[in-house]
Chains A and B, each alone.
Chain A
Amino acid sequence: MQGILQPPMPKSWRKETKPHKFCPGCGHGIALKALGQAIDELGLQGIAVFGCDIGCSLLAWDFFDLDTVQTHHGRTIPVMVGLKRARPELICIAYMGDGGGYAIGAQHLVNAATRNEKITAILINNTQYGMTGGQMAPTTLPGQKTETTPYGRDPELTGYPTQGPEMVAAITDERAYVARGTVARPGQLREFFKRALQNQIDGRGFSFVEVISACPTNWRTNAKETWEWVEKLMPTYFRVGELKVPEALRGKGVEAKDEETP
C-alpha cells in the first residue's frame, strides 16, 4: 500500500536490496536517489560503474543495478581512475564521504583533479565520520561537538572546515565541472549530477560534486534540528552552487528545476 504513495524508485536502483541500509534520516538515500535519477535520465545504466568508499558510503555497495566495487578508505578515486584509464568507454563514478575525500584520500582527489582524470567524484559532507561513530572530520564545523572534539571543534587547534569544491575549482582547468549541492534541494542536486556526468560523457574532464548531507544519528538531532543544520547552518560554511562549469555545459536553468522538496 505504501508503495503506491511513494514516488517511484529510480530505474537504476536495485529493487532487491531495498529498503537500503542507511539510518533513518540519513542524507545518503536522498543523494543516491538524485544520482539514480541522473543516471536514468542520461541512460547510463549499461555503461556506468559505481565505486564506493569506506565509511557509510560502503553501504551502497549493492545499491544500484550497476557494476559496483567497494574499495578501501579514501581509495575509490584511484580505483575509478585506473578503471577509466583502462576502459575509457565506461562512466566511472567515485562515491565517498568527507573523511575519504578530504583526509585519508586527499592526495588522490588533488592529483586526480590536477591530472583532469575523466571521472565523476561525489563526496557526501555530513561534517563528521559517521560509520566510526562520529569523530571530527575535515568538514566539522567550528564549535561542533564530536567524539574527538567533545568540547567543540576549536579552529585554533584544528582549523576550519575544508572548502573542498573551492579547492578543486582552484586546482583544475576550465575542462572541470565543480559544484556543491545539498540534500535539501534534490532537484538541483540531480541537475548537478547530470552535468557532472555529462562532463565525463563528453570526455572533457574531471567532475566533482560535494553534497551537503545529514547525519541525525551522530549529530543527535531530531528531524527539525537536522533540517536546520542542513538548510541553515551548513550553508553558512559551505556555499551551495556551481563553482566551475565548462562552457559547453552552460546555459541550462539548473535553479529553475528545483521545485521538489524532500
Chain B
Amino acid sequence: MEKPIEGEKKVFMTGNEVVAWAALAAGAEIMYGYPITPQNEIMHYWTRLAPKYGRMFLQTEDELSAGFTTIGGVMGGRRAFTATAGPGNVLMQEPMAMAEMMRLPVVVIIMQRGGPSTGTVIYSQQEVTLTTLGGNGEGFRIVYSTASNQELFDYVIKAFNTAWKYRFPTFVLGDGYQAKMREPLVIYDPEVRGISPVPAEPFLGKPGVPGVDRPPGHYRNTYNTEEELYEVIMGLARAYEAIIPEVVEFEEEAVEGAQLLVMSHGVVSRAAKSAVRALRRDGYPVGYFRPITLRPLPVEVMRRRAKEVRQILVAESAYGQFARLVKEALYGLQVEIVPLFRPGLGINPEDIYSRVQELIKGGEKGAGHIAATHA
C-alpha cells in the first residue's frame, strides 16, 4: 500500500487536518473518537483518509468509551489513538488512569477549549492540570505542548514512538486555535527524517495457546493489599523517573544575561518569543523559556535558568495551572514569579511586551509570588 506522504511536502493546513496526516504518517492503525469541538475535524479528515491506507475508525458513544476502546486497541497491539477536548477530556481521565496504572501506550490528542464546565468551544490552556495530573493517580504520563501546526505534526508522530517505547500514556496538548487555524508547514514521511516506528506489540491475543505454549497474559489494575499497590506504584515511579532525562524537551532563547525570564507553553509561547525578541531589540535584558514537555517538566534546566534571573513572568491562557507546575519545579528558589493569566483568552506579544516593560522599569515586586514559600 502506498505511503500517506511521500518524501516531504509544504502544505497550508489547519491543525486538525495536520493531526490526521501525522497519525497516518506515524502508522496509526485505528482511531476511536467521540465528537467534541474543537477537535472534530481530526475525525473528519481521518475518516476520509484512513480507508485509503487500510486504517480504521470507530465512533463511540462517549469519551469514556473512546478512551477504553483505545485501550482495547493498544492491548491488541495496534497503534491506536483518540482525540478530545474540554468536558471530553474530563471523561477521558478515567480510561487514562487505567492506562497509567497498566502502562498502556495510548496516544491522546487534546485540543483545549475554555472551561470550567462547557466553557467555550474555542480556546484555552485550561486543560493543563487535567492532562498532566488528571485521574486518581500520580501523573505518570508524557505530555507534549505544541505551539504551531508544524509542531502538531512533529509531536503527533513522536507521541506514538514515545508511547510504545516507554509505555506511558502520551498526550499531545494543542488548543482550539491550533485546531482551527491554517498556517504553512512541512509534512513528511517520518523515514526521510530518520524516524522509524517503534514496533507495537500485543498484550492480549499474543501468538500461541495460553497455558499450553506460554503463560496467559493476565492484566489487572486492582490490587488486594496496600503493600501490593505500593510496590506497583513505586515501580511505576522508578520507571517514570528513569526516563525523564530522555523525554524532557524545551526551547529557550536570549537567556544569556537575562534578568527576567518569560515562561510560557503551547501557542502562547509564540507571542512570548516574539515579545522577547522585540524587548531584546529595545534593550531589555529578557529571556524566553518554554517547556515542550509539561509532564515531565525539564526541571533541572528550569531551576538553572531560574537561578540566573530575578523574575519570571509566567504567561498562560489559564488562571495559574501552568504556573503551579512552574512553582513546584522551582520550589525553594528565591526567584519572584509574576503572573500574566488570561483564562480562556489568547495572549498577544503586546500583552507580554508591556507587562515586561512595566516590571523592568518599575522594578515592581508587589504582584508576584515567591516560589520559596517555605524557605
Contacts and interface: CB of A to CB of B under 8 A. Distances in A.
Direct contact of A and B (CB under 8 A): yes
Interface of A: 12, 14, 45-47, 49, 54, 58, 61-62, 64-72, 75, 78-87, 89-90, 107-108, 110-111
A70 B204 CA distance: 12
Contacts of A80: 72
B211 A49 contact: no
A156 B177 CA distance: 50
B72 A84 contact: yes
Contact of B30 (A61, A69, A71, A85): A85
10 contacts: A14-B211, A14-B216, A45-B210, A54-B222, A64-B216, A65-B210, A80-B72, A86-B56, A89-B205, A111-B60
A49 B210 CA distance: 10
Nearest to A82: B72
Given A62-B218, A78-B64, A72 B98 contact: yes
B78 interface: yes
A72 B91 CA distance: 13
Contacts of A87: 76-78, 202, 204-205
Contact of A47 (B62, B73, B205): B205
Nearest to A61: B220
A58 B58 CA distance: 27
A75 B95 contact: yes
Contact of B69 (A66, A69, A82, A107): A82
A76 B1 CA distance: 34
Given A69-B75, A71-B98, A111-B61, A12 B211 contact: yes
B212 interface: yes
A10 B210 CA distance: 14
Interface in B206-254: 206, 208-212, 216-222
Contact of A90 (B64, B65, B205): B205
B216 A85 contact: no
Most chain B CB atoms below 10 A, which of A47, A62, A78 = A78
B61 A66 contact: no
A44 to B, nearest CB: 10
Nearest to B65: A78
A54 B98 CA distance: 12
B160 to A, nearest CB: 15
A67 B210 contact: yes
Interface size class of B (residues with CB under 8 A): 35 or more
A69 B30 CA distance: 20
Interface in B45-74: 56, 58, 60-62, 64-65, 68-73
B107 to A, nearest CB: 14
**Residue with the greatest number of chain B CB neighbours at <10 A, chosen from A47, A79, A111:** A79
Interface in B14-29: 29
B171 interface: no
B32 interface: yes
A65 B211 contact: yes
A68 to B, nearest CB: 5
A49 B204 contact: yes
A86 B30 contact: yes
B80 interface: yes
Contact of B73 (A69, A82, A107, A108): A82
B94 interface: yes
B46 to A, nearest CB: 14
Contact of A83 (B73, B95, B206): B73
A120 B64 CA distance: 20
A119 to B, nearest CB: 10
Contacts of A61: 218-220, 222
